[in-house]
Structure 1
């Protein structure tokens, strides 16, 4: 095992953070593009009554955020009508395929971080790949608050959004990608 130098660690951190941010944004974008029409259709009834009674309609981009967090097994919490939590993608036709999206994107981001750090062994690569967390976690925290509707009446579960989607997913899958990057080193 080689001793990592400071420039490789810095490259791994920067590559990991950038990769994590890109993975988060790209993941949300894919969910929005692939599920946006279906989400609009589902929301149309609710939004009709919201408009009729002077309430705020739910924007599609916000509901797509709930679906994106659902791909990380983060439930959407409904405080309206007694309170409940559900994973909307598990109830949707064809939505279950999206569950592979975050792990896939995070493994690729970890792979990029490991390559940027010049990882020559799996441990060094895993360390660099885990830096994906530095870019993914802040966006996951921001998104957990940004995707709240009606003062939190409908929102991703904050605890699992931060811990599972923001920390565990990027650390684990980024490290796997980073470890795999060492297999591609010269």
Structure 2
């Protein structure tokens, strides 16, 4: 019975993590994709690389919303940027709320009606890392722009550790506690 419950919780966590990551990226794309596509920076990057970059730049904002910087090469070396943190636009800085909110909801769903003890509920909620981490790793690699000589993209270690592991473990567990608590009532 315990193995079945653990497998079920892992499956819900996996599905919740995948759903939270994809939904988060899509929300950023819907809210900011057109502005990015029409920006001068995007058009220059597309000209220089010969590739469509809008979807990658949206990924940069998505990682920025997790407090992950983007490493950009320059004349004086690489620099790290967080376009969300450095913005004065409320619509852009509001993105900081998106990943925690989606992960709390995913953790809530993963633990709903599945845990008797708070520690089990938190563990079930934190299982969203099973879906969120692999997509964060893939996104950090896929959202890189450039060639072998010069690349720009999410800072890999921070993307994996912070966005891929810390965020889903922390916020998924918080959601799991809430889901486990409410389902026990």
TM-score by length of 2: 0.90
1:85-126 alpha-carbon deviations (Å, 9 max, x no partner): 11011233121101010000001110111026x112211100
Which segments of 5 or more consecutive residues in structure 2 lack a partner in the other structure?
none
Q: Any stretches of 5+ residues in structure 1 without a counterpart?
A: none
Give the corresponding residue for 1:169: 167
Coordinate RMSD, CA, aligned: 1.8
Deviations 1:55-114 (A, max 9, x none): 425521110000000000000100233211110112331211010100000011101110
Distance 2:56 2:172 in 1: 26
2:33 equivalent among 33, 36, 45? 36
Q: Deviations over 1:156-177 (max 9, x none)?
A: 0001000000000000100111
3-state SS, counterpart of residue 134 of structure 2:
helix
1:91 to 86, 94, 104: 86
1:77 maps onto 2:75 in alignment:
no
Note the C-alpha offset of 1:41.
2.9
Q: Taking structure 1 as reference, are residues 125 and 47 closer, same or farther at Cα in structure 2, changes over 3 Å only?
A: same
Equivalent in the alignment of 2:129? 133
Mapped partners of 2:4, 2:10: distance in 1: 10
